[in-house]
């Protein structure tokens, strides 16, 4: 799971709110400040690319749904794929993009279940396409920690 900016900043707040026990104030507080620094770096990385990554991921799922809608699935799944494929992200906030992403992922799970149950080479190719989409999404959402000095 990649934390959102809001989750990272709440983590910073929670880290700093609890006072250390008196006997460990020095090292304990230094450790807390280190954690806050790392969380801040992750939040900065997420702030830089978070919305763009979610927008691209949502667009990639809609493209996949547009292609897959002609796959001969159940009428309900076909209709849902067509409906979602026509959608657009109107709310470009992180939380708005996450809501749209959750809806798209539910449909992706339904599609993947149907694809895995279908026989043939076309099904295998679509399975690979879904796995590639998921891998690319995970890679794009990855947050990297910088090298840290040894203590």
* pLDDT tens column, 22-33: 777 777 777 778
Q: Which domain holds residue 36?
A: 5-141
Q: Is residue 148 included in any domain, yes or no?
A: no
pTM: 0.80
Ranges under pLDDT 70 in the chain:
1-2, 150-151
Domain count within the chain: 1
Q: Is residue 53 included in any domain, yes or no?
A: yes
Q: Is residue 146 included in any domain, yes or no?
A: no
Contact 51, 94 (CB under 8 A): yes
């Amino acid at each position: 799971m990649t934390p959102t900016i809001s989750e990272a900043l709440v983590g910073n707040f929670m880290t700093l709110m609890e006072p250390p026990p008196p006997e460990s104030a020095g090292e304990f507080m230094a450790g807390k400040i280190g954690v806050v620094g790392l969380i801040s770096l992750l939040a900065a990385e997420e702030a830089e690319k978070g919305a763009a990554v979610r927008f691209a991921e949502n667009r990639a799922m809609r493209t996949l749904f547009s292609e897959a809608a002609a796959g001969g699935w159940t009428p309900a799944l076909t209709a849902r794929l067509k409906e979602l494929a026509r959608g657009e992200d109107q709310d470009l906030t992180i939380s708005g993009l996450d809501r749209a992403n959750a809806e798209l992922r539910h449909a992706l799970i339904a599609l993947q279940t149907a694809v895995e149950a279908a026989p043939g080479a076309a099904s295998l190719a679509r399975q690979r396409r879904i796995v590639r989409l998921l891998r690319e999404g995970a890679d794009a959402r990855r947050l990297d920690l910088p090298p840290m000095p040894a203590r």
